[in-house]
Structure 1
Amino acid sequence: MNFLLSIAFVLCWSSGFIGAKLGVGTASTVTILMWRFLPLAVILMIVAALSGTSWRVLTVRDVARQATIGVLSQSGYLLTVYYAIELGVSSGTTALIDGVQPLVAGALAGPLLHQHVARRQWLGLGVGVGGVTMVTLADATSGAGAAWWAYLIPLLGMFSLVAATLLQGRSRTQIAPAVSMTVHCATSAVIFTALAVSAGAAQPPADTSFWIAITWLVALSTFGGYGLYWLILRRSGVTKVNTLMFLMAPVTAVWGALMFREPFHVQTALGLAVCLAAVVIVYRGDVSPTRVRSLESSRP
């Protein structure tokens, strides 16, 4: 079951980078994100109002914590990813830059979550960062059109997601998946609607491909990728779920090359192979998987 969940997670999370590429061809980043979350938040709030049982035990502090996690794991993360792709960074490279997340999460999981990270895991994580560097340099020198500073933007999103992961890991309150999903999506809807309205970009384009991209992002990325992230985090721990992030890059790079003819060089392939080796090293080195408390949100 864990193996199948991991495969589904990798495919669904990778689909988010492809969906972002589809969307930025028709509208600005804030427009896409507003219409990705606004209808979804309304539906989720109606469902929450009709069911309501899981909300009765929540305190104001619980809701505030989940809103903060939503800001970090959805709003901050997605805004940087979409903006980087809009600036011309390839979807595969954006996915791989975000893949440096395991090293940061692994380094902080010890002191903040009191989890043991084995030496072999550290080796694998370090190898993975080497692969990230190789692919990023290949993309940056390919003449794809993105400015050098655009490659720093996904790093901000990576730190945002790591912060959300560690914040949830320190939580002692178990929150039902539907509840956390609703809070996260409602928070993101408010933030992205405010940004779109203030930028004069709230009106969606009259383009069928825009709504195809929105449907893609809601079904695969939000319910699939984002939700499975928290589910696997709860079942397997910070190090393993973040190590799976290294697999996003190969899948996204191949996907982007086939769909959008994004650059895929020998150096790109070598870097991706290094990242896959890092996953093998980390997984073989984890003989006693640790678990963390997590957002019970197995679906936003």
Structure 2
Amino acid sequence: MANKLGTLAGPQLRGSALVVAWSSGFIGAELGARHAGPDTALTWRFLLTAVVLLPWALPAFAQFGRQEWLRQGVLALLCQSFYLGGVFWAADEGIPAGTSALIGSLQPALVVFLSTKGLKVSHLAGLALGTAGVALTAVGDLGAGVTVFALVLALGAMLSLSAGTLLQQRWPAPLLAQTLAVQALFSAAFFTVFTAGAGTLAPPMTTGFWTAVVWGVGAGIGGYGFYYLVTTRDGAARASTLLYLTPAATAVWAAAMFAQPIRLATVLGLLISAGAVFLLRTTSTARPG
């Protein structure tokens, strides 16, 4: 699956696929927020994902030891359950998809800052630029009615993914398809228990909801598949830095699909954050995983 893609695709093609697939996840969160609560949408997204990837998960029951199951459980919570939970709840609170993607793009600076030997002034400048771009956009959103709580949810999602990325870089990884499949099982179980306890497990039987679920399955497998692929083959710093390119794609996509306005503050924030991409990509020497 994604492993074969990684063999055939070069770094540039892998990077382009990551940007497209990852930005589609924020569009999926917006779609889901329009048809159901975030817990219901995520539960059925992960249940369907787990079914699709089940053939790759079954061998893990014979191959994984206790330590590997524990590691995959931790990564599933950080990189999928908590991260997507924050993104979906932020969308439910009304945060624009482009802003959510831009806050998520702070992760490159944070990961590079924590995983690079011999930090230079340019690293600190990249972190400062990325933060300034996000702050400018966030101020504009607050003025347009977005709540502080929604911004905090998106920020918490970014921190969760950053922690998972750094752990994944340090831990030996099993086959990519197997990683995705096992983590989908963990996340499906996590959200099923949560929604069952909250009484929100039953899905709305509407075309819009199931379209959002299917979109989310494709975005999840493609986005995480290419994210883990680039992390494994090209390094965590490169994978995270490529995420700086997703906010612009997401903002344009959201404007076309949902008529979400692209405000001046958003454009300025994207341009400032884009400067961080060049600083971080040209000066990073990340430690190998």
Answer yes or no: same fold by TM over 0.5.
yes
- Tell me how far apart the structure 2 counterparts of residues 164 and 149 of structure 1 sit (CA, whole Å): 23
What's the offset of the Cα at 1:222?
1.2
Q: 1:169 to 1:71 in 2, by over 3 A?
A: same
Counterpart-to-counterpart distance in 1, 2:86 and 2:30: 13
Equivalent position amino acid for 1:292 in 2: P
Change (3 A) 1:137 1:28: same
One-letter amino acid matched to 1:276: A
What is the distance in 2 between the residues matched to 1:75 and 1:200?
Answer: 19
- Which residue of the partner structure matches residue 102 of structure 1? 108
Whether 1:151 aligns to 2:139 is: no
* Pairwise CA RMSD: 1.8
One of 23, 26, 51 as aligned partner of 2:35: 26
Equivalent residues in 2 for 1:172-211, closer than 5 Å: 173-211=172-210
Deviation at 1:31, TM superposition (A): 0.6
Shift of 1:131: 1.0
Q: In the alignment, what sits opposite 1:121?
A: 123
Q: 2:234 aligns with which of 227, 233, 236?
A: 236
Where do 1:27-176 residues align within 5 Å?
27-49=36-58, 52=59, 56-110=62-116, 115-143=117-145, 146-171=146-171, 173-176=172-175
Pair 1:88–1:48, CA change in 2 (3 A)? closer
Normalised to the residue count of structure 1, the TM-score between the two structures is 0.88
C-alpha change, 1:100 and 1:174, in structure 2 (3 Å) is: closer
Q: Which residue of 2 aligns with 1:226?
A: 224
2: CA distance between counterparts of 1:198 and 1:174?
Answer: 33
In the superposition, the TM-score normalised over structure 2's length comes to 0.91
In the alignment, which of 4, 12, 25 is matched to residue 3 of structure 1?
12
Which whole-Å CA distance do the structure 2 matches of 1:92 and 1:261 have between them? 12
1:118-168: CA deviation from partner (whole Å, max 9, x where unpaired): 43233223212211111111111123xx32222111111111111111111
**How far is 1:249 from its partner?**
1.1
Shift of 1:19: 0.9
**5+ unaligned residues in a row in structure 1: which ranges?**
294-300
Aligned residues: 280
Higher helix share: 2
Q: Which amino acid counterpart does residue 242 of structure 1 have in structure 2? A: S
* CA displacement at 1:3 relative to structure 2: 1.0
Q: Percent identity?
A: 36
